[in-house]
Homo-oligomer: A and B are copies of this chain.
Amino acid sequence: MPLEQLRAYKPALTKLPDFDAFWSESLEELAQVPLRYERTPFPYPVKGLKVYRMFYEGFNHSRIEAWLALPESSQPLPGIVQYHGYNWAWDNQLLDTVNLALKGYAVLQMICRGQQSESVDNVVSSNGHVAGWMSKGILNPREYYYRAVYMDSVRALEVLRDLPEVDGDRIGVTGGSQGGALTLAAAALSDIPKLALSDYPYLSHFERAIDVAPAGPYGELNEYFRRHSSDPRIEERAKETLSYFDIMNLAPRIACRTWIGIGLIDEITPPSTVFAVYNHLSCEKEIGVYRYFGHEHIPAAIIPRLQLMQDVLGS
């Protein structure tokens, strides 16, 4: 799709009538979970910085791992929650957290449940799924994997805001790919963030993604449908479930300032699926378009993002 078409591409939303009710209930269920967390100092050989390994109580009372880095400061700090990419967590997942904290922010990185490390994925699904997490619980929105993850993402914001070192009125969210989706989901489902910086967000415009990106992680959905070809109702039910989690459907709920970045040769989160989100945003927004980049680190996006952090959150 050429850029001009992308700029105008705004497919119809696919949300069902109870879309908002579903999320209200989910947030209420989250609210039942007490705000609890613990942090342990983690020795890190850099002066002027405190690093903590953290666990907080997430959705369904799960134990969620996070990393926290705080620059020394006599003032309350602006804060940022980071979300990592799909299947992209490592032990000592500290590098980005530390590097961003050193720029003057209290940074908390949530580790997605089940994806390596120690966050516990405690929602048992009534169905099997394709290897990976994309189809886990897909036959029931209440069991779908990302319901818990979206709620964990909101809770991460609540934890960060609760820290004594943090100025709760200056909090942002950021991440790329799955992290970019969680960034937007958190901005849609929580009023804490004042800024959302989302690199090539995933989990968006599923209907099209299945057609144009079967070779990437969206392809887990293709594989799921493929393995349930005998009964067309399975695919229908799964697509209904996905509609609740489609970032495109959540986009209109976002109120804070939002920046999205996308490379025009991205084959993992194709530009059309990203513009579909962007064009449904009604908040103050910008999009960074990178002609020669795919789903990868984009150097030219660094300064604009840092500038926005500084402008909106201070530092």
Give the B-binding residues of A (Cβ under 8 A): 44-48, 63, 87, 89-95, 99, 102-104, 111-122, 124-133, 222-231, 234, 290-293, 298-300, 302-303, 306-307, 309-311, 315
Contacts and interface: CB of A to CB of B under 8 A. Distances in A.
Contacts of A129: 114, 116
- Give the dominant DSSP class at A's interface: loop
A298 B90 CA distance: 10
B124 A91 contact: no
A229 B265 CA distance: 14
Count of chain copies: 6
A177 to B, nearest CB: 14
B45 A229 contact: no
Nearest to A119: B128
A229 B299 contact: yes
A116 B91 contact: no
A111 B128 contact: yes
A231 B118 CA distance: 14
Contacts of A293: 226, 229
Contacts of A311: 45
